[in-house]
Structure 1
């Protein structure tokens, strides 16, 4: 009899302890949840809809509805928020799910890779005028257009990213050789988990006066280049180095294609109404094939086309192109780093 009584007492003790522990995960009022998890709380009593926000992560909900929306994309079924004595209560399941989501999304990133250096390369310069055309009686030179657009891109990038290194291969009407341009990029000092991207800007020309439009190029994936340095070959051995080289080259190619797509899409939004997109293309340009990093070459239009040449002769149109290239680079950086 005494043993049975002890079992009953033990069971009651376990149930009581369980209920005490469970109370830590019991329903919280909206205000209590906001204070506990340090989230910004907003609620519209007219629509009975609310939102929780913590460092750019959002959880949306509605009173009486058994679901939450995570960052406006994912619908998740949970216990429905309810009213109790004039206070909106979040059930234990809702509290646990939202708290877990905020913790996961805002957890410190263990692998934080960054674009530390951006190299902008205005094509041609100095003794090399690049393409030349006559527009409304005036001479239009590729080297002048590429410099103006590159300055615009570099200025915008420096304003947005004061902590990053923004380099241009030339700031005036000088002529760095193709080898010099690539050497600037490949010699950029980088820390662990840092990378550099290379953007070369050009204007097009053709004997076909009807040729028109912008295009973005990246290195042909079939072209093989050496991207692993001699020190790595010495350290890892001649049998391992080719494998590392292939892996790194594949990564550079993938990132170059993504960068090309981001810039191409932005050019379409900016000048697509005036100039047709000619696509993203693969080629073995010298500056692209010798840059050991994600790299692209932009042809911003044909100076030999009567209408497009007239547009390229105006600063307002070149600003549009510069803004588009800048926004494409920003899009790539956000993609790469997140």
Structure 2
């Protein structure tokens, strides 16, 4: 029986490698039988990534500039109902200071990430983006500030923003409703993603692995959505509970399953920019290395001021000091070198992408 499963899963992985497409029941079968084909999938995914990007890992400087959020997602530690969160906002000078230090260290992409904080007006965000681009014209600016109107996204793009991260979290509507309050809908999240792509951003979506109520069928729907949407970036992280959320007693997702999803995503989307996430490093000390060895090609060290890193706590026990911090870039580079990969300072755009 095990030999039969190995043969079938290998055939499915070869099909995925060749066609970059599977049927829903084929995705489910692979996920149900991951243990028998994991190493084969990793080998295929690494080969595909290396053929396109070589033995390089791109670095992004993460600036978590606000932990205020208007949303109340059931899994998130900075949800608006969490009265225990120590809230903060960085101002424009703080952010530019982070960029200056990041540029000195070799970062050529800055990621402005925050909750959906309407304190920062569109005008202020545009001034911030323009200031970074004027100071560092050879750098990319990535935004991760949630759902906005298409006109707002267009303004951000016109101001110079290059990329936008907006994880869809789950592509199944009834599952989405179990993770979010009624005012948030999967249909609007997907609309935002298509708006961003139409404007001309390099667009990233992504999902949690092991979130409450999730099944392999839900993950199969995620893969079908990725195939249809064709994002430039995909962020895949395990669900990790937070003590001040409704899901505080839910079990964490599996690092092993998350890494398998990384490999499958590489085979589905050969040129995708695929982070080895901090959440993986939180669950497994070697999680980011394992993700790179499964096809990931991006790491995102933290450029935020040290005094706020512990306040941007989306989940419990998030790494907030050590190799995820920009100051430990040399250590992170050594860790990547030990597995045969090199951290590079390039902007690291999606292969062949041209800005409109």
Structure possessing the higher relative contact order (Cα contacts under 8 Å, 6 or more residues apart):
2
TM-score strictly above 0.5: no
Give the TM-score band, short-chain normalised: under 0.3
Larger Cα-atom Rg: 1
Q: State TM-score, norm by structure 2.
A: 0.26
Q: State TM-score, norm by structure 1.
A: 0.27
